[in-house]
Structure 1
Amino acid sequence: MRFKYLEWDIELDTNELGFRETLDIDTAEKVVLFLGDSFTEGWGVEARQAYPALVGERLKRETSRGGAYNAGIAELGPVSYLESYVAFFEAVPSVCFVGVGLFLGNDTVTDQSISLTRLESLTKDQIENVSAQSKPPKTSAIIKRFLAMNSAIYMAVNRIVKSNFRVVQFLSRMGLIDIGNNVVTATEGLYQGPAHDRDIEFTTDIIRVLRDRVAAQGIPFAVYIFPAREQVDPQAWETFREILQAREEYRHYANERMAKALRNRNITVYDLTKTFLDASREGAEKLYFEMDPHWNAKGHEVAAEFIAHTVQCK
Structure 2
Amino acid sequence: MQKTKLKALTKILGQTALIALITFVMSEITLRIYNKINPSFVFYDSSYNRFRGKPNAPDYDFKLNSQGFKDVEFTVEKPAETYRILGIGDSFTYGVVPYQYNYLTVLEEKLNKSGQKTEVINMGIPGMGPRDYLSILVNEGLKLNPDRVVLSFYIGNDFLDNYMTANLRTEEKSYMIALIKSMIKIQSNYKGKVLNPTTVQYNDNLPTFTDEKYLEDTINKSNMFVRNPADGMFKGFVDDAVKDLIKIKQICDSQNIPLTIVIIPDEVQVNSQLQKQVKQAFDPNNQNLLDFEISNRLLTEQLQQANIDYLDLLPDFKATAQKTPLYKPNDTHWNIAGNRLAAELITQHLTAKNQP
TM-score range, shorter chain: 0.7 to 0.9
Separation in 1 of the partners of 2:120 and 2:265? 22
Separation in 1 of the partners of 2:157 and 2:164? 18
Name 1:257's counterpart in structure 2: 298
Mark the CA change 1:159 to 1:234 in structure 2 (over 3 Å): closer, same or farther: same
Q: Given residue 188 of structure 1, which amino acid in structure 2 is its aligned partner? A: S
Unaligned runs of at least 5 residues, structure 2? 1-56, 167-172, 187-192
Q: Given residue 99 of structure 1, which amino acid in structure 2 is its aligned partner? A: V
- Counterparts of 1:85-104 in structure 2, within 5 Å, are 85-93=137-145, 95-104=146-155
**Do the aligned residues in 2 keep the contact of 1:31 with 1:69 (CA within 8 Å)?**
yes
Name 1:56's counterpart in structure 2: 108
Deviations 1:231-290 (A, max 9, x none): 101111111222344855421111111111111111112211101112123xx3311122
Q: Please, what TM-score do these two structures have when normalized by structure 1? A: 0.73
Separation in 1 of the partners of 2:161 and 2:327? 27
Name 1:266's counterpart in structure 2: 307
**SS at 1:218's partner residue?**
coil
User: Which of 94, 108, 118 is the equivalent residue of 1:41?
Assistant: 94
The answer to whether structure 1 residue 138 and structure 2 residue 175 are counterparts is yes
User: Which of 260, 265, 288 is the equivalent residue of 2:327?
Assistant: 288
Separation in 2 of the partners of 1:97 and 1:87? 16
Mark the CA change 1:242 to 1:149 in structure 2 (over 3 Å): closer, same or farther: same
Name 1:240's counterpart in structure 2: 278
Separation in 2 of the partners of 1:16 and 1:137? 30
**Do the aligned residues in 1 keep the contact of 2:87 with 2:122 (CA within 8 Å)?**
yes
**Do the aligned residues in 2 keep the contact of 1:229 with 1:293 (CA within 8 Å)?**
yes
Q: Given residue 36 of structure 1, which amino acid in structure 2 is its aligned partner? A: G
Deviation at 1:33, TM superposition (A): 1.1
Mark the CA change 1:238 to 1:198 in structure 2 (over 3 Å): closer, same or farther: same
Deviation at 1:18, TM superposition (A): 2.4
Separation in 2 of the partners of 1:184 and 1:12? 31
Deviation at 1:99, TM superposition (A): 1.0
Mark the CA change 1:42 to 1:78 in structure 2 (over 3 Å): closer, same or farther: same
Q: Given residue 347 of structure 2, which amino acid in structure 1 is its aligned partner? A: A
**SS at 1:295's partner residue?**
coil
**Do the aligned residues in 1 keep the contact of 2:89 with 2:153 (CA within 8 Å)?**
yes
Unaligned runs of at least 5 residues, structure 1? 4-9, 116-135, 170-178
Name 1:224's counterpart in structure 2: 262
Separation in 2 of the partners of 1:168 and 1:278? 23
Separation in 1 of the partners of 2:126 and 2:258? 24
Deviations 1:3-31 (A, max 9, x none): 7xxxxxx5674223322011414353221
Deviation at 1:114, TM superposition (A): 9.8
**Do the aligned residues in 1 keep the contact of 2:262 with 2:310 (CA within 8 Å)?**
yes
Name 1:160's counterpart in structure 2: 209
Q: Which has the larger radius of gyration?
A: 2
Moved more, 187-196 or 205-214: 187-196
Name 1:7's counterpart in structure 2: none
Mark the CA change 1:157 to 1:61 in structure 2 (over 3 Å): closer, same or farther: closer
Deviations 1:158-204 (A, max 9, x none): 9405xx3x3367xxxxxxxxx6xxx3785134323443111101111
**Do the aligned residues in 1 keep the contact of 2:89 with 2:124 (CA within 8 Å)?**
yes
Deviation at 1:110, TM superposition (A): 6.5
Moved more, 46-55 or 18-27: 18-27
Mark the CA change 1:69 to 1:215 in structure 2 (over 3 Å): closer, same or farther: same
Deviation at 1:205, TM superposition (A): 0.9
**Do the aligned residues in 2 keep the contact of 1:191 with 1:247 (CA within 8 Å)?**
no
Deviations 1:80-130 (A, max 9, x none): 11111111111222x111111111222114657999xxxxxxxxxxxxxxx
**SS at 1:200's partner residue?**
helix
**Do the aligned residues in 2 keep the contact of 1:193 with 1:254 (CA within 8 Å)?**
no
Percent of matched pairs sharing the same residue: 21
Mark the CA change 1:139 to 1:158 in structure 2 (over 3 Å): closer, same or farther: farther
Separation in 1 of the partners of 2:165 and 2:250? 18
Name 2:16's counterpart in structure 1: none
**SS at 2:262's partner residue?**
strand
**SS at 1:241's partner residue?**
helix
Name 1:118's counterpart in structure 2: none
**SS at 1:107's partner residue?**
coil
Separation in 2 of the partners of 1:77 and 1:184? 19
Deviation at 1:223, TM superposition (A): 0.7
CA RMSD of aligned residues (A): 3.4
Separation in 1 of the partners of 2:63 and 2:288? 41
Name 2:131's counterpart in structure 1: 79
Separation in 2 of the partners of 1:50 and 1:262? 26
The answer to whether structure 1 residue 14 and structure 2 residue 64 are counterparts is yes
Name 2:224's counterpart in structure 1: 190
Deviations 1:139-160 (A, max 9, x none): 46568599723788xxx99940
Q: Please, what TM-score do these two structures have when normalized by structure 2? A: 0.65
